[in-house]
Structure 1
């Protein structure tokens, strides 16, 4: 694949309705799921490292969902494929990643996630995430 998939980005209203604190809580819960999944070896094992990874991801999703560009401000260009390349990611790993995200999103009200944008957000992560696959 030469570039990222052409999928519609999340609606910027998501951040406006959720706010930064809820986005961070959402991503921390997603990362807790990762840490208890079959892809846990791709994530830090210590609580501080896992929290830092969740924060970085939350910064990315804040900007993606209509908030300030926190990731760019704190860490520079996301370079998603490059940052994920050290990890052997096949479609099964991607499917586990997506399942963890979906498990947390089963309770969107816990994060004040606007339910009217839930399907399109899931469509985005489901459509974009295969770009991280780097192994058959």
Structure 2
């Protein structure tokens, strides 16, 4: 198996089985989306003050509602090999290592969950 695919498979497995990471990803993703949507809507309707209020309201709604974590996992599973290779390159750069055990250790640190979610969102938004 090509090296990047082994790393990619390990990343997806960790994301599928690490409950703390799942919780972090769910919370971060939904709050980001709701907050951004609220900010944009509030800004259009009420200008700068509306943007602030919309962002706060959006964050609150995001906190109280569920997100579709499985959709993210499905998108990751459907990436082409070239996209997987690019994602692996970015994750390795973020982790600072090409070793699978370092990836596992890095993901085990809850402070890194936000960094991973941000990288995934940026990658998927630009693909």
Shared fold, TM over 0.5: no
Q: Which has the larger radius of gyration?
A: 2
Superposition TM-score, scaled by structure 1 size: 0.30
Structure with bigger helix share is 2
Higher relative contact order (CA 8 A, sep 6+): 1
Superposition TM-score, scaled by structure 2 size: 0.31
